[in-house]
Amino acid sequence: MTVLIIDDNEAITNMLAKFFKLEGIECTVTNSGQSGLDMILNDDWENIILDLTMPEFSGYNVLEKLESENIEKMKNIIIFTATEIIDEEIEGWKDKGVKGVVRKPIELDYLLKIVKG
């Protein structure tokens, strides 16, 4: 199983990478939204954990780009956010194919359940 984590907070990405490694899950990290988009477009990931609020090129930018190009990979995205996101927005992203939403502070067991799907 492979996981790509896209989040600008290095403390969070390091913690998640260690957690997934302990669970036997292959994990790759990037702290840049643009780099994350490039990685999504160029590789196959079973799960993509995407932070919404990042400087310069946000998770929203990543989602909008994937949606505008009708890219099937949205089905592998787990939105990961501390932003107040309303239920209607969550349902809207799920309707567009997003796999799930995990709010920060993170519940690792819940995230693992979504990743293992």
One-letter identity of residue 74: M
CATH at 83: 3.40.50.2300
Average pLDDT over residues 67-95: 84
Predicted pLDDT at 50:
97
Pick 93 or 76 by higher pLDDT: 76
Residue position matching structure tokens 């993509």: 48
Predicted pLDDT at 56:
93
Q: Which 3 state secondary structure label does DSSP give 75?
A: helix
**Domain extent at residue 58:** 2-116
Q: Which 3 state secondary structure label does DSSP give 112?
A: helix
- Confidence tier at 95 by pLDDT (50, 70, 90): confident
Q: Which 3 state secondary structure label does DSSP give 81?
A: strand
Alpha-carbon distances, residue 71 vs 16, 19, 55, 83 (angstroms) = 26, 29, 23, 25
pTM, full prediction: 0.92
Pick 50 or 100 by higher pLDDT: 50
Per-residue pLDDT of 19-32, as tens digits, reads 999 999 999 999 99
Give the angle 114-115-117 at the CA atoms, nearest 5°.
Answer: 60
Q: How many domains does the chain divide into? A: 1
Per-residue pLDDT of 25-68, as tens digits, reads 999 999 999 999 999 999 999 999 999 999 999 999 999 999 89
